[in-house]
Amino acid sequence: MLVFVANVLVFADARGLHSHGAMRAEYYAERIAKEGINHHPDFHFERTGASSGIFHADNGAGHVAAQFAMDEAIKMAKENGVAVVGVKKMGHSGALSYYTERAAKHDLIGFSVCLSDPMVVPFGGAEPYYGTNPIAFAVPGNEGKLISFDMATTVQAWGKILHARSKNQLIPDTWAVDENGEPTTDPFKVQALLPISGPKGYGLGMMVDVLSGILLGLPFGNKVSSMYHDLSEGRNLGQLHLVINPELFTTINKFKDDIATTMRDLNAIKPAPGFNQVYYPGQNLEVIQKEYEEKGIEIVDDIYAYLVSDVIHNNSYDHKDPFVE
């Protein structure tokens, strides 16, 4: 189980997605130690139709459940052309693009959404209701290259706030609001996050909530469990994988050639002032990953000190209020 978790954390750090990398290790260790992550989950896959199913995660490690569920979706999409697989009652699963890129590497289209803590104000609202409710999408091109994006439905993911706190850095005033609903640049004063592009991000967050919560009969909206409330309890989160085989609509070679053309076309677009190049989604991560392969992954001092210590956890997260600590 721990190998699966470690793989996703390293994947995130190697892509520059530090908010879902090693900084999460102590949190997972504490939740595992307090049995809020089931040590011996009854993982099983229930096929509910020719192209649909539910992976029952039994509050096991979300990284493991999400990967097993995606593997079932990949198998089903290869057999029947399309697959929709829900993951029911899981823990936090880290960077969603890890799973969608798994589908893309099998010459399939991967799309995933999942629930997260209620910490986002709906457009026009003054208190949180939805989570950051991320969306990830990946498709294959030629020569192993992928178009891939992984986004929160907020201006920034909550993990970015935590990353700013760990480095004592200010944040842009467009990311979040304080206790009065006013924009703040202080990550320690954040009381709620803002949806991306106002009502548009609000609508996307609601869509994710429906697909990965209500559709699976799980807690939704502000009923979704907090990441830090009582680490001895399972979180009962939901996730949905949609996998499509391009050969339902075209040949895989033409599809990948057209994706490759899209990549070249985007790279060839005249850059705007202040930019050196237009990148296709995921391309900048390839550059970052190459740098890490050559130079290694930077880890902030306090996280490094924890990783090399003999301490399992420092009891830092149980019943923590993420907004004020």
Structural domain includes residue 233: yes
Between CA 55 and CA 76 the distance in angstroms is 13
Residue 80: CATH number of its domain: 3.30.1370.60
User: Does residue 32 lie within any of the structural domains?
Assistant: yes
Asked if residue 277 is part of any domain, the answer here is: yes
- Residue 220: the pLDDT is 97
Q: What is the pLDDT of residue 325?
A: 52
Tokens linked to 296:
């290694």
Q: What's the pLDDT score for residue 65? A: 97
Please work out, in degrees rounded to the nearest 5, the angle formed at the alpha carbon of residue 112 by the alpha carbons of 8 and 98: 20
- Measured over all CA atoms, what is the biggest interatomic distance in the chain, rounded to whole angstroms? 55
| Backbone torsions φ then ψ of 295, nearest 5 degrees | -115, -10
Is-contact 89 220, C-beta < 8 A?
A: no
- Quote the pLDDT of residue 124: 85
At 324 the pLDDT is 58
Whether this model's pTM surpasses 0.85: yes
Position 322 in a domain: no
Instruction: Answer yes or no: are the C-beta atoms of 114 and 80 closer than 8 Å.
Output: no
Look up residue 194 and give its DSSP letter: -
Which position among 63, 92, 163, 241 bears the catalytic label? 92
Q: Per-10-residue mean pLDDT for the chain, 325 residues long?
A: 86 84 93 94 97 98 97 98 98 96 98 95 89 96 95 86 87 90 91 93 97 98 93 96 97 98 98 95 81 82 92 91 67
**Rounded to the nearest 5°, which phi and psi values hold at 217?**
70, 30
What is the Cα Rg of the chain in Å?
Answer: 20
DSSP state of 120: B
3-state secondary structure of 237: strand
Q: What is the pLDDT of residues 46-57, one digit of tens each?
A: 999 999 999 999
pLDDT for residue 163: 81
Domain-embedded: residue 252: yes
Beta bridge partners of 112: 136, 241
Q: Are 23 and 13 in contact (CB under 8 A)?
A: no
**How many Å apart are CA 87 and CA 65, to the nearest integer?**
7
CB of 162 closer than 8 Å to CB of 19? yes
Q: Is residue 168 part of a domain?
A: no
Nearest 5°: the CA angle 126, 96, 167 is 65
- Among residues 28, 21, 154, 12, which one has the least CA distance to residue 97? 12
With residue 87 as reference, give the H or E element that holds it.
Answer: strand 82-90
Identify whether 56 is a catalytic site residue.
no
Q: Report CA-CA distances (Å) from 42 to 56, 187, 213, 217, 239.
A: 8, 39, 20, 19, 17
| Enclosing domain of residue 38 | 2-156+197-308
Instruction: Count how many domains the chain has.
Output: 1
Q: Is residue 183 in a domain?
A: no
- Coil, strand or helix: which one is 128? coil
pLDDT tens column, 56-74: 999 999 999 999 999 999 9
Helix (H, G, I), strand (E, B) or coil at 196: coil
Is residue 94 assigned to a domain? yes
The token pair at 186 is 């202080």
